Structure 1
């Protein structure tokens, strides 16, 4: 719990910095100027933002540099240090308020809001998709507050307004979709408990709306989180159940996504499940091909041949088959959108590990540097974890000069 709080504090601090438009290096320079010393470096700011250290003595200067009340920063520090009465300012406690006792999707007995129609559903759908598109280029720490706000507003509308049964179903669908992207954002920000609560809320909404593929999308998202957070067996069971929930008539893009999640879940159980993982990868490609003319829901917009190839490569990397993984990742990365820094960092991290497995430590070291550089400005626990995984893998080659240089410059990240 203590480590989680410190990481959340770090993400909060990083969010304040980004809101002022400063890089870590620029913030360090401002703090040096304000304090009249030269003792703050970009590396030190990075440690604060990763939860490795708490900048107690720097709070007055941070308050000035980040245009934030010092009392608010001290409240955040108290939270990081485990004060049971302290809350992290901002969005941290928002889901607790969002999910009061009872069913948050139960309409209020006395509706006080105005009657809304299909245009309310359309407007909500636009905001949900805008949040998805923002997630393509921003990290969880940057998006968690607006995601929670949108989910709160959507539930408030559903509970308080008056509408037809069709509009009510449309609102439930959008709440389900919004809960999925909120859960994804929360997971990326390291808030896995909040993410699970959001996913479960979304499953409830999607079930009430009778939207099987959306139920499967939410359940598959939760399965993916379980597979990555120590519940690998539960991840396989839930990913398999999600695929069944979607049904054979679900659009091809969605079935491809659900097969990919099954593949990853099996992969996380290790080599004994390699055959099931590789089979699921093939089924994902078949589903995408067979459903090429299907009309997929908007939330599946990103599922493509390219993304399936990335999952192929990730699975082969985890199964220690670098001869399959390296060509796939190398090809995909030559065509990948450079604005999607988080995904680039993640995909290059698997390439670095695969190159190390292929006994190419010099190339692996070069990729590791790219991963560290891409991850530096991201408030994502996923990329931070992958940086550590890459550096840990390189320690086997610490007698190679290029690797030794990487570990000398960035080995401290293994301790964060």
Structure 2
């Protein structure tokens, strides 16, 4: 019975377009209780069948605007649906406050300070790799979570602080993933998704979900990555800024590519086209969050070229990569190494082993000074691809040098 009630609660909540946090507030309002004894975490337990609403059931029905019977009557089995963002939230909420808040009251000045530190960390990631930044990033995240848990604040301040926690979790998760600490990155991403959801910032939630989807697609969990990338796109909805939708669609394209198969390849190419169309809409002056500063036509071309490289279509990939690399800031060593690695593989696929070897040599050289698991993995991929041309002198010399 509990699982049936949970499915019915979730269905009715999604019908209204409410978050779990919003439903918790509405239930408390319907019950006429002070504070918020029912929060996002409790609603999540109801929906997953871990708990039964019991005495809250009449107030749930009143909040949702349906008779109690609608929530208690099992529904006929239906086709399984794709996961939504709510399915990826941590059940035990790490942002739940302890019994008492004892360290004073926070205001917007403290939130602004956190925002500046998050922005500084994001800019540092443009030049430094995960191995260099992971410790300070996670230390900063722990510090801000302690601020949230141990202080009091107004509702507007709480929302802004949750948004900063979510942004910090996104960049900290990205950094941890770049350092090769994928389990830690996943925990951090899910925490950030919880914070963004509680703040009811769908665009930011989509970015966190998409970031985790990208990692899953790259560590052998391709189907999970595709489901989450699609959930991120769907969860953000049509109201997301065009630049954000372009980013989500890019990740959907990559997820389809990593799953593989001819049909998924067509889905990937279609998503790339839709990403370009979304970015074109951004020129109409729509305001985007500051964390989208790096999403532009060049970044979309990079993903397009990577998709075509993965699909073994070098005639499409090579011109795009050469164009992007010709305009790219060479001080971003990690990204240069990554983009060159895709170009080296595309050259090999085009049966140009000499060009592939020359490009791969630059990849190996740049990667030697970058503490990034991503670049290390790509060096392995490039060398494995070039092994097919081991009889070519330039390739043989490179493989010997790498060994």
When normalised by structure 2's length, the TM-score is: 0.76
Structure 2 partner of 1:197: 187
CA shift at 1:106, angstroms? 1.5
Structure 2 partner of 1:338: 330
- For 1:386 and 1:333, the matched residues in 2 are separated by 17
Is 2:157 aligned against 1:167?
A: yes
Structure 2 partner of 1:111: 101
Largest Rg, 1 or 2? 2
Select 1:288's aligned residue among 279, 293, 298.
279
- For 2:244 and 2:319, the matched residues in 1 are separated by 26
Is 2:137 aligned against 1:150?
A: no
Is 2:390 aligned against 1:377?
A: no
Structure 2 partner of 1:275: 266
- For 2:371 and 2:202, the matched residues in 1 are separated by 33
Q: Superposed, which structure 2 residues align to 1:25-40 within 5 Å?
A: none
Is 2:236 aligned against 1:246?
A: yes
- For 2:206 and 2:132, the matched residues in 1 are separated by 27
- For 2:380 and 2:218, the matched residues in 1 are separated by 15
CA shift at 1:299, angstroms? 1.2
Question: Contact 1:310–1:329 at 8 Å: present in 2 too?
Answer: yes
Is 2:341 aligned against 1:349?
A: yes
Question: Contact 1:325–1:354 at 8 Å: present in 2 too?
Answer: yes
Structure 1 partner of 2:316: 324
Is 2:398 aligned against 1:406?
A: yes
Question: Contact 2:93–2:194 at 8 Å: present in 1 too?
Answer: no
CA shift at 1:290, angstroms? 1.1
- For 1:118 and 1:106, the matched residues in 2 are separated by 21
CA shift at 1:102, angstroms? 5.2
Is 2:331 aligned against 1:365?
A: no
Secondary structure of the corresponding residue to residue 220 of structure 1: helix
CA shift at 1:107, angstroms? 2.0
Aligned-CA RMSD value: 1.3
- For 2:146 and 2:259, the matched residues in 1 are separated by 40
Question: Contact 1:220–1:239 at 8 Å: present in 2 too?
Answer: yes
CA shift at 1:271, angstroms? 3.6
CA shift at 1:390, angstroms? 0.5
Structure 2 partner of 1:235: 225
Question: Contact 1:271–1:319 at 8 Å: present in 2 too?
Answer: no
Question: Contact 1:255–1:284 at 8 Å: present in 2 too?
Answer: yes
- For 1:360 and 1:103, the matched residues in 2 are separated by 52
Structure 1 runs of 4+ aligned residues shifted over 3 Å read: none
Unmatched 5+ residue regions in structure 2?
Answer: 1-90
CA shift at 1:115, angstroms? 1.4
- For 1:259 and 1:102, the matched residues in 2 are separated by 30
When normalised by structure 1's length, the TM-score is: 0.74
